[in-house]
Every structure is written in C-alpha cells, then in structure tokens.
Chains A and B, each alone.
Chain A
Amino acid sequence: MSDDPSTSADAPTSADAPTSADSVLPAGVERRTIGGEETLATRGEPVYGEPTDGDWRAWNASRSKLGATFELGMETGLAGGDRVLYLGAAAGTTVSHVADFAGPTYAVEFAPRPTRDLLAVAEPRDRLFPLLKDARAPETYAHVVESDLDAIVQDVATRGQADVAVRNAQFLADDGRLVAAIKARSEDVTADPEAVFDRAVDRLGDAYEVLERRRLEPYHDDHLAVVARPR
C-alpha cells in the first residue's frame, strides 16, 4: 500500500486488540505531547487554530472521525505517501491532516460554503486537489481522479453513505483500503444505530470485504468506523 519502506507492509492480521496503537499509525502521523496534552499530530501548516509544536500540529480526535479511528487503534492500512480520495472533505479539517502524511489527495466536497475553507487548506498543500463535486456521482470526477488509489477516506453526512462507498470503489487498487465513517443519524434519526450500521455494512459487502468495524465513542456518538478492501 505504501511507497514508504519505513512502514511495515504486511500489517493487517488479526484486528482484535492491537498491542500497541502506534504500530498502526501511518508514517507522518505521530503521538506527541503538544501543549501538555498527548495527541495525534501531523506536520503541516496550521488550519483551524489547533495547538502546534514546531512543525507538528495537533490532530483532535473529537473533531475528526479519521483521527478517532486512529486513536482507537484500528488498523486502517493507511500509510505515509498513499494516494487518497477523500469524500466529504467539508471545511478541510481532517483532509488537511491526511494531506500532511499522504501523497496526492483528491478532496471531494459538494457544498460551496465549506469549500471556501477547504481552499484555504488546499492552497499551501501542493498535493491536495479540491473538487467541488457530488460524491454520489463519481462519473463527474473520474476524468480528474486517477485510478488504482491506495485509499478512500469517507465522511459524507448524506443518506446512502454505504452506497457512496460502493460507487467509488472503482477508484481503488485491488489491495486498496476504504476507511469510512458511517453516521447513523444521516440514514435514519429514529432507528437504532446498530441496525443502521448492520444495513450499511451489508450494503458495503456488494463491493468490499469488511475487515474491521468499530463505533467511535467516546469521540463521536452514533458513528461507526469501517475498514474494508475491494472484493
């Protein structure tokens, strides 16, 4: 998955109880003490007033579902230098950290207002490409986003989140990874979140083999993180 020899290539084995959470962090993401707090951090231009220490900027897991996914020790399979498609980039909080450790990163966001903030994030990051597109319609950006990507990171808050992941599977390399956050309330505010998650994971099965699923409490309520690879 990675061009970077410093990360262990054959990591994904048992998903249960990783002995050391740090072993699954991509190169370029580190656990550091910034402003007296232990936190995930990446190196890059500060974006949202986050605490910094030299080049390192804190990555607040409560503000980022991918951050929480790392914080909980899930094996995302993401590696430093990965080529990434990020769906639901919003104002760019999380995608800024992804672009810090990854390689070329395509950031898809549909709403103009957050895209304005995303542009400020993309400007100083020369391998971050903002795309004002609807993640439900991949054909509208398949002429820009390259094939055989190492990873899709998804955080779209629309109905049919699993559908979005399935439609975008075409961008992934055979050994690529999907790291998705599924928000229960976006699918159905009244249903039991577990039932919503089961349905979503079931739908993902049309295009992916799900490797690990885990709820993102205490960082994010009623969110499920899913790591999967294309079938």
Chain B
Amino acid sequence: MTDSDADSGWFESVPPDDLEVAREVIENGSAESPKDWPKQAVEARFAEDKDNYYDRLHEAANYAARETVKERERADDQQLKHSIRAMDDCERTANELAERAAEWAGSLFADVDAGIEGAREVATRQPDTEAERRAVSLAERAVDLADEAAAIRGFIERTAPSVAPNLAAMAGPVLATRLIALAGGLETLAKKPSGTVQVLGAEDALFAHLEGRAPSPKHGIIFTHEYVRETRPEDRGSAARAVAGKLTIAARIDHYSGDLREEVHEELRDRIATIRARADADEEGDR
C-alpha cells in the first residue's frame, strides 16, 4: 500500500472508501513527478469521472490531515508532561543547591545572599583557594540548573498554546500544562468531570476527606489561577467551581476541535465578576 511504483498516483492501490489506506498512501507515498492524476484515476476506474475523483480526494485529504494533526498534537501533550516535571525538578534542585552553595560561600566570602540570586553572584567570583573553587563551582551548577528550568519554561510557554489553545489562554501555559500532566494527557483531561479537575493536585486532601478525616478540598492546582487565589476566601469555592467548569470545557474544545473560542473565556470572566460582586455587595450592606 506504499509507493511500490514511484510513478503511481495515491489512488492506485486504495480500495474504494477505505480512508485508512488512503491516508497511509497520501502521507507516506511519493512520486518523482506529478501526472494528470484525475485522468489516470478515471482510467483506472478509481473514480467515475473527474468530479467524482475530486470528491474522493477531498474526503481522503481531509481525513488524512485531520487524523495526522490529532496524532501529532497528542504526542505533543506527552512532551508537555515530561517538560513540566523536568522543570519542577530543576527548580527544586537548583534552590536546594543554591542554599547549600550560599551557606558554604558565606563562610568564605563577605556579603553572600541566599537563593539563586546569591548563587549567581557567587558564581562570578574569582576563587583563590581549593575550598573557594569548590564553593564557586557548586554555585555555577545551581545557576545552570535554574537557567535550564527557565529554558524549559520557555518551551512550555511556546508549546502549550499549540497543543491546547483554549486551556492555555484560560489558565496560562504553565497551569494548563500542569493540568494536562496531572491528568496524564489532554485526552484524559478532556474526559474528566469538572469536579475532578477542580481537585486535581489535591489528591492527599481528597483521600483524607474520603476517609472521613477532613472536609472536602475546594481546589487543587487551580488554586494558582488568579480567579481562585484572588477571590476572597468565603467565595473561593464558587470561584474554583466556575474556573474548573470552564477549564474542563476548554480542554474538551482543545481535544475535540482545537479552535480558539472566545465565548467560553468571556463566560468565565462574567461569572467571576458576578462572584466577586458579592464581596462588594456585602461591603455595601455593612455600611
């Protein structure tokens, strides 16, 4: 079913109405030079006439492109999953090493600040002794890891909008990627109910609740969304529910169709404005 003959058209060995085979040949086939394919397809009785040929090509080309786009983007969501985990590892390790390097360097140099910025400064120093050399070198490694984390973040920011345009627009590329990673992929995220999305990342609290040890968690990782975090505590549950609901819809649009839909973003903005208006109303009432 591939290009056994370098000079045959895509339709040569495609059974009528077998879109899978057609897709395989359109994608992986080749020819040295183009020919009058519509005419040859009619002669080969693949199609009744040219119009019929074009109808079939339209169907096959659309099918092939759609399936391939889906496949490639699915693969990209797995890249996002790895990258967000790697970014978190790099950041955590960079911070730990930077603390250690700063503590060490603090015993050797004056004015050493804590954290990555401290390590960055230590890394620029000229070491004179063996001990200084080691401390400065350790600081360099911490800085490198922090830079790697930043580079991975850049990759996520570029990739997430193409994998999940609505989710990335609504949650930001990093939170969108965290949700995809926590769910295991865009498809699994798209198939989760919004109540699950709301508590993704709060599994410990959720299981504590299910065992009767704690109240139900109001939010998981979506707490990092400003619509949740910056809503006053008594309304945060409502905000988290609204955000999770729209994020779920966004993930479904991204998985099943992929076009950017402004309405769903507008609806969430309206809903959050309504929830936050309660606080204003309460203030009015207190006066």
Write the residues of chain A forming the contact surface with B, with a CB cutoff of 8 angstroms. 104, 112-113, 115-120, 122-123, 126-132, 139-140, 142-148, 170-171
Of A142, A143, A145, A170, most buried by chain B (CB within 10 Å of CB) is: A143
CB–CB B54/A126 < 8 A? yes
Chain A residues, Cβ within 8 Å of B72: 112
Q: Is the interface of A mostly helix, strand, loop or mixed?
A: mixed
* A146 touches which of B3, B30, B38 (Cβ 8 Å): B38
CB–CB A116/B69 < 8 A? yes
Chain A residues, Cβ within 8 Å of B35: 146-147
- With contacts A127-B58, A143-B9, A146-B35 taken as known, whether A119 is within 8 angstroms of B30 at the C-beta atoms is no
CB–CB B62/A144 < 8 A? no
CB–CB A130/B65 < 8 A? yes
Chain A residues, Cβ within 8 Å of B3: 143
CB–CB B259/A147 < 8 A? no
0/1 per residue, B1-30, Cβ < 8 Å to A? 001000011100000000000000111011
CB–CB B57/A117 < 8 A? no
CB–CB B61/A144 < 8 A? yes
Task: Give, as a whole number of angstroms, the nearest-CB distance from B258 to chain A.
Answer: 4
Task: Give, as a whole number of angstroms, the nearest-CB distance from A215 to chain B.
Answer: 31
CB–CB B258/A116 < 8 A? yes
Chain A residues, Cβ within 8 Å of B69: 112-113, 115-116, 119, 132
A170: nearest chain-B partner, CB-CB = B33
Bound-complex Cα distance A116 to B26 (A):
17
- Residue B55 is within 8 A (CB to CB) of chain A in the complex: yes
* Extra inter-chain contacts (13) besides given A143-B29, A148-B36, CB under 8 Å: A112-B73, A113-B69, A116-B69, A120-B259, A122-B58, A122-B62, A123-B62, A126-B54, A128-B58, A139-B32, A143-B30, A145-B34, A145-B37
CB–CB A144/B33 < 8 A? no
- With contacts A142-B32, A146-B35, A147-B33 taken as known, whether A132 is within 8 angstroms of B62 at the C-beta atoms is no
Task: Give, as a whole number of angstroms, the nearest-CB distance from A129 to chain B.
Answer: 4
Bound-complex Cα distance A104 to B53 (A):
11
Bound-complex Cα distance A120 to B25 (A):
23
Chain B residues, Cβ within 8 Å of A144: 9-10, 26, 29, 37, 57, 61
Chain B residues, Cβ within 8 Å of A123: 62
Give 6 nearest A-B pairs by CB, closest first. Answer: A143-B31, A147-B34, A142-B31, A113-B162, A129-B61, A116-B258
Of A122, A131, A139, most buried by chain B (CB within 10 Å of CB) is: A139
- Residue B167 is within 8 A (CB to CB) of chain A in the complex: no
Chain A residues, Cβ within 8 Å of B32: 139, 142
Chain A residues, Cβ within 8 Å of B93: none
Bound-complex Cα distance A148 to B39 (A):
12
Chain A residues, Cβ within 8 Å of B274: none
